[in-house]
Chain A
């Protein structure tokens, strides 16, 4: 099988997609020159993929977007976030990873993105071929980049995330969450309920529709553990749940748990940390 793979230089997920694609057949790795322009990129890739049996990219925002453009252009099916292929049957991620789907693809070429972390990243090896998009293409492209105000530890990259849910009770209740996060040099997270209630900004939200985190330790305080939340924190090496309900679903995803009132437990942990450090 001949496979065309979109590789974005320096992008870990596209090197994973490349590794996955090599298990399918003969790979031709390409990147596209110039500023990001999904429509123009897709046009170039579609032309380059003439005769290929499969077109593959990373299951990233960009990879999924470019392939959706390619598929729309060719009027062929597109399977996003695939974990496995068996003939014309793909296994793909649903519900942010809480569920998998087996689906038959009726079309050619096979157009699919590779779900993150199903295959190890592989070095590109031979030089990646650079495609040059049609300069007269007028489809939307990035015209400006606005830098974000920096400050604090980034949620996506934090080594520790201390997260609060409905059980925290109020915006003010997050003071103890912030205190523990600061002591651990970590970031504050929250569940969707908290964002919807306006207690914390959406930038703090961990979950399927928020930020996906992968810290060494994720502390879930007063979070019941809806699948939508777990989809955002299951990348953590260890999860500690602090919850009043010993039957809360979060315990089925946690490595450690403390049962009781987080308003007492969280400050006690902060105090114990200070004590351990001799402060």
Chain B
């Protein structure tokens, strides 16, 4: 099995989002970065598949030079090598992102059996890059997986739905998008992190096409910054809490 997992570097936003002066990005000076939570499960799943059935697990990102940090994290989880499409930090829209990924997939000498995405990125939340890649490659796609079993050239895909799970079956090669909760990603060990530093990262610098969904400006929605009513300090506040619960009709 040869598996590709696509990830995106996103800031860990913490408790409050502050924008840059030109209102086109989040101010990240004091923030750490990670990959979207859904993708973390995607990387873990790909590594497990390869541990079980052999093959190669590859991770790909389209992002600034600093995104190599996230690729190294994925390599520490157990991916074998990485592909970095280096940008100048400007965001790419979903169509441009998908097109760049398709080019990489097509350029591989030996084709991928499975291409894995997060169901949606934590930041842009476009819900579409994986599906666009599948169409361009002419592959079947199943989204929002909470369960995945790969055997005998087929993938059994489980999606949560009202009152249970819907099951899809597709033959490989295929594209899947996954959700957090698919598995519990491992914490990489120190030796794994050291090994990750020596694994290959192939980088290239594609040209950014004109966006067709063109970000103009970001806005922090109103409603943040409520003033909580302090009901008290310590266990002595319990009567006030119960009074509040009775007042709103839940106790």
Binding site for B on A (CB under 8 A): 36, 38-39, 61, 64-65, 68-69, 71-73, 75-81, 89, 91, 93-107, 113, 139-148, 159-160, 184, 186, 192, 195-196, 198, 202-203, 205, 208-210, 216-217, 224-228, 237-238, 240-241, 248-261, 264-265, 267-269, 271-273, 276
A216 engages B249 (CB within 8 Å): yes
Q: In B12-46, which residues have CB < 8 Å from any A CB?
A: 12-17, 26, 36-38
19 more A-B residue pairs beyond the given contacts A95-B13, A143-B168, with a C-beta to C-beta distance below 8 A: A39-B140, A69-B131, A80-B120, A80-B126, A102-B218, A103-B214, A107-B212, A140-B141, A140-B168, A210-B181, A228-B13, A237-B248, A249-B15, A250-B15, A252-B226, A258-B232, A258-B241, A264-B235, A276-B242
- The distance from the CB of B1 to the nearest CB of chain A, in whole angstroms, is 19
- The distance from the CB of B120 to the nearest CB of chain A, in whole angstroms, is 8
The interface-forming segment of B55-63, B159-167, B190-198 is: B159-167
B170 engages A148 (CB within 8 Å): no
* A73 to chain B: closest residue by CB: B135
* B132 to chain A: closest residue by CB: A72
Tell me the number of A-to-B contacts counted with CB atoms below 8 Å. Answer: 259
Known: A78-B128, A99-B219, A264-B234. A217 touches B13 (CB 8 A): no
* B249 to chain A: closest residue by CB: A216
A198 engages B224 (CB within 8 Å): no
Report, nearest first, the 3 A-B pairs whose CB atoms are least far apart.
A249-B15, A202-B181, A268-B235
B225 engages A257 (CB within 8 Å): no
A143 engages B167 (CB within 8 Å): yes
Q: Give the size of the chain B interface in residues (CB under 8 angstroms).
A: 84
When chains A and B are docked, how far (Å) is the Cα of A104 from the Cα of B215?
A: 7
* B129 to chain A: closest residue by CB: A68
* A267 to chain B: closest residue by CB: B235
Most buried by B among A72, A148, A227, A250: A72
A256 engages B131 (CB within 8 Å): no
B184 located at the interface, meaning its Cβ lies under 8 Å from any Cβ of chain A in the complex? yes
A260 engages B219 (CB within 8 Å): no
Contact residue among A71, A79, A264 (Cβ-Cβ distance under 8 Å from B132): A71
Residues of A within 8 A of B126 (CB): 78, 80
- The distance from the CB of B155 to the nearest CB of chain A, in whole angstroms, is 10
Residues of A within 8 A of B185 (CB): 196
List 16 A–B pairs whose Cβ atoms lie within 8 Å, in order of A's numbering.
Answer: A64-B127, A95-B17, A96-B125, A98-B17, A99-B221, A100-B218, A102-B217, A104-B214, A142-B167, A145-B161, A146-B167, A160-B250, A216-B250, A240-B231, A256-B231, A265-B238
B65 located at the interface, meaning its Cβ lies under 8 Å from any Cβ of chain A in the complex? no
Q: In B172-229, which residues have CB < 8 Å from any A CB?
A: 179-181, 184-185, 210-221, 224-226, 228-229
Contact residue among B140, B170, B214, B226 (Cβ-Cβ distance under 8 Å from A106): B214
When chains A and B are docked, how far (Å) is the Cα of A260 from the Cα of B37?
A: 31
* A276 to chain B: closest residue by CB: B242
- The distance from the CB of A77 to the nearest CB of chain B, in whole angstroms, is 4
A217 engages B250 (CB within 8 Å): yes
B244 located at the interface, meaning its Cβ lies under 8 Å from any Cβ of chain A in the complex? yes
- The distance from the CB of A279 to the nearest CB of chain B, in whole angstroms, is 13
Most buried by A among B36, B213, B244: B213
- The distance from the CB of B99 to the nearest CB of chain A, in whole angstroms, is 10
B214 engages A226 (CB within 8 Å): no
- The distance from the CB of A49 to the nearest CB of chain B, in whole angstroms, is 17
* B174 to chain A: closest residue by CB: A140
